[in-house]
Amino acid sequence: MYKETIDRERMPRHVAIIMDGNGRWAKSHGLARMFGHRQGVETVHRITEAAAELGIRYLTLYAFSTENWNRPQQEVDALMELLVDTIAKETETLMKNNVRLLTIGDLNRLPQKAQDKFRRCMEQTAGNTGLRLVIALSYSARWEIIRAARKLAEEVQSGTLRVEDIDETTVSEHLTTSGIPDPDLLIRTSGEQRISNFLLWQAAYSELYFTPCLWPDFTVDEFYKALIDYQGRERRFGKTSEQLNTNKG
Ligand code: FPP
């Protein structure tokens, strides 16, 4: 019912999602937190397929934040194992849907097995030309901005970059999202209305969409609703409505 309402001519090029509420979903069903994460993987599967089918170019999912390393060790280990299993199981689905896997974040901080699985999946799917599925792993925006600042400073120090040449483009090129367009739409599930250290630079002009729906309950129809809501908004990038209408000419 929602699907027919989507304007295929005005699709966001890049949708980013803060997948939140797995723990609360598990609790509300009287289950351990990991059941929520496992159910969350089902949502990842169906939303990725839906995004690929709609012709969205980039889908970025916040799977594990830098701050998530501070969770109880047992949960961290179980999440890492779940990521490894999921990548192993889902590579075939990615191939079938012509999806290319990319990652952002500090991949080197992950256990070796997880790094190997992700790198292998990235290689296997490198030739796919459809949706780019970007998984944020050990990612936080402040971590990536500090890293970019250090790299820029090093280049200035070594004489390969002039201070006056540092602009928005150079900064963007030094972030882990280099080459990926900024998100047009940023969705957060579970009712929290925060950005939580996710894509702070890149989301400067993103439309924000918050839904009370917990991530395991986030259906394809809920995703369509977010896209329809986005399509109803006027994106001005600091300009006036009149300027935008004149430019449409
Ligand atoms: C937030 O829920 C969810 C996470 C920190 C992990 C999300 C990871 C997955 C769904 C697995 C993803 C797999 C792939 C391959 C992308 P929460 O635990 O913060 O929930 P709560 O706020 O209700 O406690």
Residues 6+ apart with CB under 8 A from 200: 141, 142, 145
36 alpha carbon – ligand 1 mean position (Å): 8
Separation CA 131–CA 55 (nearest Å): 7
Is the pLDDT confidence value at 158 over 60? yes
User: Residue 222 pLDDT more than 70?
Assistant: yes
Per the annotation, the verdict on 108 as an active-site residue is no
User: What are 22-66's pLDDT values in tens digits?
Assistant: 999 999 999 999 999 999 999 999 999 999 999 999 999 999 999
Domain spans in the chain, listed from the N-terminal domain onward = 12-232
**Rounded to the nearest 10 degrees, what angle do helices 220-231 and 33-54 cross at?**
50
Mean pLDDT value of segment 138-165: 98
Can you tell me which residue has the tokens 């594990």? 64
Question: What are the Cα distances from residue 99, in Å, to 49, 123, 178, 189, 242?
Answer: 9, 12, 19, 23, 39
Span from the CA of 85 to the centroid of ligand 1 (angstroms): 15
Domain 12-232 part of CATH 3.40.1180.10:
yes
Nearest to 80 by CA among 111, 107, 102: 111
φ/ψ of residue 98, rounded to 5: 60, 35
Q: Decide if pLDDT at 1 tops 80.
A: no
245 is catalytic: no
Q: How far apart are CA 247 and CA 226, in angstroms?
A: 27
Q: Model pTM?
A: 0.95
**Which residue is closest in CA terms to ligand 1's atom 6?**
63
* CA 136 to ligand 1 center in whole angstroms: 12
Kindly state the percentage of the chain with pLDDT values over 70. 99
The maximal CA–CA distance of the chain, rounded, in angstroms, is 59
Mean pLDDT over each residue of the chain, to the nearest integer: 96
- Over residues 222-235, the mean pLDDT reads 95
